[in-house]
Amino acid sequence: MPTMADVARRAGVSAKTVSNVLAGYPYIRESTRARVLAAVDELGYELNVTARNFRSGRTGVIGLAVPELGQPYFGELADEILAAARRRDLRVVVDPTGFTREGELAALREPRRRLVDGLIFSPATLVQADADLLDGLGYPLVLLGEQMFSDKVDHVTMHNVDGARAATDLLLDAGRRRIAAIGMLHAPTAGSATLRFRGYREALEARGIAVDDRLLGWADEGWHRGNGARAMAAVLDSGVEVDGVVAFNDALALGAMYELQVRGRSIPQDVGVVGFDDIEDARYSTPALTTVDPGRRDVAEVAVGLLDRRLADVARGVVGGAPVLHVADMRLVERGSTPARP
């Protein structure tokens, strides 16, 4: 069986660095983390924590509560978390909460949590006013996303504003000025939508361009392909000129591309399109979709590592420790759906 020392030699780092990566230590260069994880995959290295679990009374099972698995981002995030957990000899119980408050509250409650040692939780309906629900849970929890924040638990999130601004700037740099934003939500719990709209608005305002409400495509029914197509259709039916689209996730972008092409618009010659999430389908659309990679693998690795580290602390009787806030690296992935930069 490969050892941690073998992984360290393959990655060209110290064994301590390997340990820190697998423990979810957030202050590690992304290139180093990627090298270590690649070495782990190549060698098939797995932490042997069976004895540790027996001594500590742990089950070796963690929970993952996400809104749904039908939305590609959450499905692929779950796959990444499952892989990160396997590398630590942990198993995962996945709990889709259905984008409902009741489902999210149930994920936090007894007796469900008795089945797992700790929880990775991605809320979609709970809001900042609900943050006190995370106090005194009695088990380790890692919070994902930007729907709510707490100074009591570890938190892993992404650059929503910067990512949407980079997406909009890409189109502006190509000379596009009538850029639609697809994925607007009226709901008061629209955390990601609010932040991504902010990035879109800031990019326009920096160029002296006012937001045109006719270019806002609403998707209150959910961020799925069909709703992206319907939102795009509503914008086009308004008669407003469109030469670019920033969609708040890739599924919406793919739906918007379909609607544009059905109506005879050429992509990217007539309309450039940028998505957000870098899901697998984005590579295989026609043309391939330019998108924002929000660091999904980084989110998964750090979240699982942080939870595993907290569980180890509990086993040793260590209580407390400053909660970690980790913001994953993001990058813009340019493909065929946007014009080449000048």
pLDDT tens digit sequence for 146-155? 888 888 899 9
User: Contact 298/329 with Cβ under 8 angstroms?
Assistant: yes
pLDDT tens digit sequence for 128-150? 899 999 887 888 999 999 888 88
What is the average pLDDT across 327-339? 96
| Rounded Cα gap, residues 215 and 322, in angstroms | 44
pLDDT tens digit sequence for 86-141? 999 899 989 999 999 999 998 988 545 567 899 999 999 998 899 999 887 888 99
What is the average pLDDT across 218-222? 93
Query: Is the pLDDT score of 52 beyond 60?
Result: no
What is the average pLDDT across 189-210? 93
Reported confidence tier of residue 77, pLDDT bands at 50, 70, 90 = very high
Reported confidence tier of residue 34, pLDDT bands at 50, 70, 90 = confident
Lowest mean pLDDT among 105-109, 216-220, 250-254: 105-109
| Rounded Cα gap, residues 34 and 18, in angstroms | 11
Domains in the chain, CATH or no CATH each: 46-158+295-330 (3.40.50.2300), 160-293 (3.40.50.2300)
Residue 8 to residues 16, 38, 208, 289, 308, Cα–Cα distance (Å) = 8, 11, 51, 36, 20
| Rounded Cα gap, residues 19 and 78, in angstroms | 23
Query: Is the pLDDT score of 38 beyond 80?
Result: yes
Query: Is the pLDDT score of 166 beyond 60?
Result: yes
Within a 10 A sphere around the Cβ of 285, how many other Cβ atoms?
Answer: 20
The pLDDT value recorded for residue 23 is: 67
Reported confidence tier of residue 55, pLDDT bands at 50, 70, 90 = very low
Please classify residue 305 by burial: count the beta carbons closer than 10 Å to its beta carbon, then call 0-12 exposed, 13-18 middle and 19+ buried: buried
Query: Is the pLDDT score of 288 beyond 80?
Result: yes
Structure tokens, 272 = 């450039």
Query: Is the pLDDT score of 318 beyond 90?
Result: no
The pLDDT value recorded for residue 212 is: 97
Percent with pLDDT over 90 in the chain: 70
Burial 246-277 (b: 16+ CB within 10 A, else e): bbbbbbbbbbbbbbbeeeebebbeebbbbbbb
User: Contact 95/62 with Cβ under 8 angstroms?
Assistant: no
Contacts of 213 (CB under 8 A, 6+ apart): none
Write the DSSP string, 125-164: S--GGGGGGGTT-SS-EEEESSS---TTSEEEE--HHHHH
| Rounded Cα gap, residues 183 and 230, in angstroms | 11
User: Contact 185/224 with Cβ under 8 angstroms?
Assistant: no
What is the average pLDDT across 298-302? 96
Determine the angle formed by the axes of helices 250-262 and 225-237, rounding to 10 degrees.
50
Write the DSSP string, 290-308: EEEE--HHHHHHHHHHHHH
The pLDDT value recorded for residue 49 is: 45
The pLDDT value recorded for residue 26 is: 65
Q: Bridge partners of 244?
A: 179, 272
* Type of residue at 246: V
What is the average pLDDT across 229-249? 98
Query: Is the Cα torsion angle 315, 319, 323, 324 positive or negative in sign?
Result: negative
| Rounded Cα gap, residues 175 and 154, in angstroms | 41
Q: What is the mean pLDDT of the chain?
A: 90
Strand (E) or helix (H) holding 245: strand 244-247
* Type of residue at 307: L
User: Contact 92/85 with Cβ under 8 angstroms?
Assistant: yes
* Type of residue at 209: I
The pLDDT value recorded for residue 24 is: 62
Percent with pLDDT over 70 in the chain: 92
Query: Is the pLDDT score of 59 beyond 70?
Result: yes
The pLDDT value recorded for residue 21 is: 81
User: Contact 163/184 with Cβ under 8 angstroms?
Assistant: no
Query: Is the pLDDT score of 3 beyond 70?
Result: yes
Write the DSSP string, 172-183: HHTT---EEEEE
Burial 211-222 (b: 16+ CB within 10 A, else e): ebeebbbbbeeb
* Type of residue at 281: D
